[in-house]
Structure 1
Amino acid sequence: MIRPADFWNSVYDSGSAPWVIGEPQPAIVDLVAQGWVRGAVLDVGCGAGEHTIHLAGLGYDVLGVDLSPSAIAYARASAEEHGVSARFEVADALDLGPDPLYDTIIDSALFHVFAHDNGDPTDYVRSLRRVCKPGGLVHVLALSDVEPGFGPRIGRASISEAFGAGWVLEELQPARYRGRVTEAVAEAEQLGLTPGSVVDEAAWLARVRRSVS
């Protein structure tokens, strides 16, 4: 089930979001260091804005968007604390706009929200395609179901099947996703996780190129 903005607002307002770790995901930082993030960048489902802030601080032309007004308020405050001028907007990932404005799109922990439990990410992927320039790249970091963990975990096929016609899946490999064990992690006790700890969970990292036609 796709949660409404009010749900996400409540998580940010309570400080219980397990994906807010106070730093960008190491897997995304590595992508940037390796030169896979270029041109105009969209950080979709930006949440607390860690990746937008990281990229803006490096001089990238980047926009962070999220459905939750509370997330955007959090991200703007965080950017100010870091002394970084970063752009954020409230936006629906299913309706990102009609124009191909972006050379690179970063999706850190959003795709699996649409795809888990046999969900259908079709509309989301269609929205990505509309705003991604021909030949542009989409990077997806999503929680993996290859080992026990918390959060909406998905299988490899969820990504490979979603990015079909109109896309070229260039790489799909195992990765790690860093999370924080908060009171929102319902599975913490059964997984033997310590409240307040930081864990690296199994994930997928995909690089998908929008076809030119």
Structure 2
Amino acid sequence: MTQPSMDWDATYRQEAPPPWSIGQPQPELAALIDQGKIRSDVLDSGCGHAELSLALAARGYTVVGLDTSATAIEAAAAAAAERGLTTATFAQADVANFRGYDSRFSTILDSGLFHALPRGSHQDYVQSIFRAAAPGARLYILAFAAGAVGDDDPDRPGSRGYTDTELRDAVATLWHVDEIRPANLYGNEGALEFMGPAFADAERDGEGHFLTPGFLLSAHKPDQ
């Protein structure tokens, strides 16, 4: 049975930003940008407030951000307009199963979406981003590791982590997986009091963030 999805719009309507909105790209993905590993056009899949999209657009990349939440998309578009970033566009979509971008993107970035998808929808998602990818496109997925978010209960709503084998097997149905390595996901330290006992002992970086263990998966779409 597919897990009921979260009410993401309600999450983004709250006065305080959600834990994953840290006002900048996730450091693991920012490093990829600095290393020159991103090529336009870029899909920011599950963009949320879209600091990743905005950072890429500020460097001249053409980016499309997709998210389930209309509230998040509205905020992202407003931020792009305020900053004068014309190469970032945003659209509300069923991120688990979307169409309309066939073979467009040379890079697909997933900054914490995969682990938040409703259970049972992952293969639809893998197929959707594969369809949207150009031949030879690169895929980067940043996702929680198993046990990182107190996800022992299979019926618990919300995000769950994955082992490296689970993550690899899910993506490798269509993509060629090049690497999976340990990585950290950053969240707002101010949100910890609302996040439950699983985060009580989370590592802090001293700059207002807590760290959650995860994986960074790198893959590519075969040229043929």
TM over 0.5: yes
- Residue identity opposite 2:55 in structure 1: H
RMSD between aligned residues: 2.5
Where does residue 87 of structure 1 map in the other structure? Answer: 89
Distance 1:56 1:186, change over 3 A: same
Decide whether aligned partners of structure 1 residues 145 and 84 sit closer, same or farther in structure 2, where only a CA change above 3 A counts.
same
- Give a deviation string over 1:111-160, Cα, whole Å, max 9, x none: 11237xx6551111011111111111111001112656685322112211
1:30 aligns with 2:31: yes
2:180 paired residue number: 172
Answer yes or no: is the 8 Å Cα contact 2:202–2:211 preserved in 1.
no
AA in 1 matched with 2:183: A
- Per the alignment, residue 64 of structure 2 pairs with 63
Please give the per-residue CA displacement for 1:5-35, whole angstroms capped at 9, x wherever unaligned.
xx11111110341111111111111011112
Q: Please name the residue that 1:74 is paired with.
A: 75
**Whole-Å separation in 1 of the counterparts to 2:148 and 2:102:** 39
Which of 186, 191, 205 aligns to 2:196? It is 186
Output the CA distance in 2 between the equivalents of 1:156 and 1:46. 23
- Percent of aligned positions that are identical: 33
1:196-207 matches, cutoff 5 A: 197-207=208-218
Q: Which amino acid aligns with 1:110?
A: L
1:75-97 per-position Cα deviation (integer Å, ceiling 9, x unaligned): 12333444433311111121133
1:106 alignment counterpart: 109
Partner of 1:140: 141
Cα distance in structure 2, aligned partners of 1:187 and 1:96: 38
Gapped regions of structure 2 (runs ≥ 5): 152-158
For the Cα contact (< 8 Å) 2:148–2:214, is it kept in 1? no
| Residue 188 to residue 39, structure 1, CA distance change in 2 (3 Å) | same
Partner residue in 1 for 2:55? 54
**Contact 2:106 2:134 survives alignment (8 Å):** yes
Classify the secondary structure of the residue corresponding to 2:117. Answer: helix
SS in 2 for 1:202: strand
CA contact (8 A) 1:144 1:203 kept: yes
Q: Which runs of 5+ in 1 are unaligned?
A: none
Contact 1:2 1:114 in 2 (8 A): no
Distance 1:130 1:190, change over 3 A: same
The normalised TM-score by structure 2 is 0.83
The alpha-carbon deviation at position 73 of structure 1 amounts to 1.3
Q: Which amino acid aligns with 1:178?
A: Y
Q: Give me the whole-angstrom Cα distance separating, in 1, the residues matched to 2:210 and 2:82.
A: 25
Q: Which deviations, in whole Å up to 9, do the C-alpha atoms of 1:187-209 show, x marking residues without a partner?
A: 36744789xx5212111101111
Structure 2 CA distance for aligned equivalents of residues 104 and 80 of structure 1: 23
1:9 aligns with 2:9: yes
| Contact residue 43 and residue 105 of structure 1 kept, 8 A | yes
In structure 1, the residue corresponding to 2:5 is in which secondary structure? coil
